Amino acid sequence: MSRRYFGTDGVRGKVGEHPMTVEFALRLASAAARVLAPEGGSVLVGKDTRLSGYMFEAALEAGFVAAGVNVLLVGPLPTPGIAYLLKTLKCDFGAVISASHNPYDDNGIKFFDREGGKLPDELEEAIESWLDEPALTRDSQALGRATRVDKQRTVYQLFCQSTLPAGVDLSGLKVVIDCANGAAYKVAPRVLSDLGADIIPIGCSPNGRNINDGCGSTQPELLRMTVAGVKAQAGIALDGDGDRLVMVDHLGRIVDGDQLMYVLACARQAAGELHGPVVGTVMSNLGLELALKERGIDFRRAAVGDRYVLQMLREEGGVLGGETSGHLLCLDRTTTGDGLVAALQVLAVMKQTQKSLAELAAGMQKFPQKLINVRTRQRFDAASHPEVAAAVKAAEAAMAGRGRVVLRASGTEPVFRVMVEGEDEAAVAAHAAQLARVVERAAP
C-alpha cells in the first residue's frame, strides 16, 4: 500500500486546500487515535507560530478527545521539544502542527511514537487506512480530557542545557540567534542566555504570518549581516519548527549541515565518542565524504529525509548524521533532529578548542554542485535507461573519482532531479546540462 497523504515529514499542504482543512484534521486525529492508542491513552500536541495553528490545534483536540484520548496541549514549542517531552510526560504518542520551513499559509501535521521517534511507513499507512471512515465518538464516560501544559517548555529548556559537556558553558561567546519567527522564539534565546552567551535575537517576534519570512535557516541573509555588524563569534539560524540548523561564522559565511556534521564528527572522534558511521544522504556534498575519509571516519548515504538517516543510524549503530539542509541528528544527546541541541554542540566545540567556526570547518572542501529539475509527464526509471546509464558512466569517468552523479525522481511533483558535483565548477555545470538533455529525451 502506498501512502496517499503522508510525505517524508507528515501531512502537509496549503491551508484551506485538501488535505489541510479542519474536517480532514479531525478525521486524521481520529484515525491516529485508532492506530496509536486504540484503548485510550494520552497525546501531546504542539505547534509552531502559524495563524492556522489555532484551528488545527482545536480540530486535533476534538478528534482525539472524541476517540477517548487525553490531550496535553503545550502550545508553540520546537518539534524536537515535543519529541523529548513525550517521554518525560509518558504520553502514548505526539502530534506536531507545523510546515517547518514553508511559508505561513502552508501547514502540516506529523506524529511521533512514545519514544519520540518519527513513525515508520507502515504505521502511517495504517493511519491512512482509517481516513475514509467517519470520525469516532465514544460514549460520554469514555471520552478523553484536554489539559494545557505550557509550563513544560522549561523542562525542555533544561534538557537542552544539559546536552553540553560537563563544566562547559557559553560565557564569552557573542551569538546571534535567528528563530525564524517560529516555534523556538521563546526557548532558544533563553537557553543560550542561561548558559552565559551574550545573545542578539532576531526573528523572535512572531505575529502568525511572518514565520520563515526573510529570516531563519532558509533565508539567512539578515543573520549574515547581523553577525558581521555586531562582530559576533557565530550566528544560529533555526527553521520554523526548530529542527533544522544553519550557522554563520564570524566572517558572515554560511556553514551548512554538511560542514556542521564534519565539525561535530571530528570533535566526537577526538573525544573518543564517535561510534558507528556518520550518515548523510545521497545529496550530501562529496567534500564531506572525502574529508571524513581522510580522518578515517566511515560515511554512509541514506535516502533523502531525516527519517531515513535516523533509520540507518539505528541499523548501523551510529550517533551522528544529517542532511545538507541542516537536519542534524546527535543520537548521543537526543532522539531526533534538534536544531538547538545541534547548535549547542557546535558552540561547545568552539569553546573547548578555542577555535572559530571558520577554523573548525576549514578542513572540509565543499565541492560545486549543479542541480537541474527535468519535468516529465510520468515517473520512469531513468537510471536503467540505456542512453541515460551510458551518459552517467561517461560523466563519472570524466571526473575520475573526484565527482559523482545523482538521479532522483521527486516525491512531490512530476520532476526528475539531475545532480552533478565535482571539483571543477564549469565541468560540473556542463555534465549536468548534458545529462538533463539525455533524461529529457529518454522520458516517456
The catalytic residues are 100
Give, to the nearest 10 degrees, the angle between helix 257-270 and helix 339-353: 50
Query: Rounded to whole angstroms, how far apart are CA atoms 203 and 215?
Result: 6
- 102 CB-contact burial (10 Å; exposed 0-12 / middle 13-18 / buried 19+): buried
Give the angle 269-274-276 at the CA atoms, nearest 5°: 130
Nearest to 168 by CA among 347, 358, 360, 356: 347
Phi, psi (5° rounding) for residue 299?
-130, 135
Pairing label, strands 11-14, 106-113: antiparallel
N-terminal to C-terminal alpha carbon distance within the chain: 25
Q: DSSP label at 136?
A: P
**Amino acid at the residue 113:** D
Query: Rounded to whole angstroms, how far apart are CA atoms 44 and 34?
Result: 16
Residues 6+ apart with CB under 8 A from 149: 44, 72, 73, 74, 89
DSSP element (H, E) containing 391: helix 386-399
Query: Rounded to whole angstroms, how far apart are CA atoms 109 and 188?
Result: 23
CA 72, distance to chain mean position in Å, is 24
CB 121 within 8 A of CB 138: no
Query: Rounded to whole angstroms, how far apart are CA atoms 110 and 95?
Result: 6
CB 72 within 8 A of CB 89: yes
Q: What does the longest C-alpha to C-alpha distance in the chain come to?
A: 71
Cell 573547548, located at residue: 352
Q: DSSP label at 116?
A: S
Give the angle 70-71-76 at the CA atoms, nearest 5°: 165
Exposure class string for 147-172: b at 16+ Cβ within 10 A, else e: eebeebbeebbebbbebbeeeeebee
